[in-house]
Amino acid sequence: MITADDIYDYLACPHRVYLNAHENPEKRRPLAQFLDLLFRRGVLHEERILGKLEYSRPVGFTLEERFKGTVELMQSGAQLISQGVLIAGDEHGVPDLLRKVDTGPKLGEYSYIPIDIKSGKGYESGSTSIVKSTYGIQLAFYARLLEAVQGVYPQQAIVINIDGDEIAFDPRGFEAPSRRTAWSNRFRQRKRSEQ
């Protein structure tokens, strides 16, 4: 299965995906202190944001069980879903939040948009208007999975940044890198050949 993390890792370093899948985890170096600090900071930020919200969360032990629970929450019209699992073919993703919005033919008069909580500012370096590309690609990936589940591509995705601000953007602007382009086809072929 291909995940949003796989895409993120592949964009950073194609070898990382292979090593994540095949290297003995005991051979991995521990995170550098700075990276560990950033990771913990991100977890605390996400907990802070979620602590202010009322949301539903799918239950289950497997991805498939949690996917089924996510779809049931969507069909029941839950306003906010935390850690919902989205599966389409051989791809899956777990956005931090799914928010109910008006419109959407398959689920009734509403659909869902993906939201991710990030411990950064959310913008490309030196910008206050251009969403960070890695965030945009990840949320466009979630948007594509949502389209497969709900029958409509989300017109909006949101990053909740370190300040708690919501940065809304159209995920279609990041769609091409997250679609099955040449790099993702090579990634799939490599993954299949290694199994």
Q: Which domain holds residue 127?
A: 42-178
In a domain, 49, yes or no: yes
In a domain, 185, yes or no: no
What's the confidence (pLDDT) of residue 40?
78
In a domain, 194, yes or no: no
The closest alpha carbon to 130, from 138, 121, 139, belongs to: 121
CA distances (Å), 194 to each of 8, 18, 19, in order? 20, 9, 11
What's the confidence (pLDDT) of residue 11?
66
In a domain, 11, yes or no: no
Q: Report the distance separating Cα 168 and Cα 171, nearest Å.
A: 9
What's the confidence (pLDDT) of residue 97?
97
**Regions of the chain with pLDDT less than 50:** 178, 180-183, 186-187
In a domain, 107, yes or no: yes
In a domain, 62, yes or no: yes
User: Which pTM was predicted?
Assistant: 0.77
CA distances (Å), 129 to each of 19, 111, 122, 168, 191, in order? 35, 26, 9, 10, 36
Which two tokens mark 98? 């799914």
In a domain, 114, yes or no: yes
Count: domains in the chain: 1
Torsion angle, CA of 64/68/70/76, rounded to 10 degrees?
180
Q: Report the distance separating Cα 142 and Cα 106, nearest Å.
A: 17
* Phi, psi torsion values for 29, nearest 5 degrees: -75, 145
What's the confidence (pLDDT) of residue 108?
65
In a domain, 191, yes or no: no
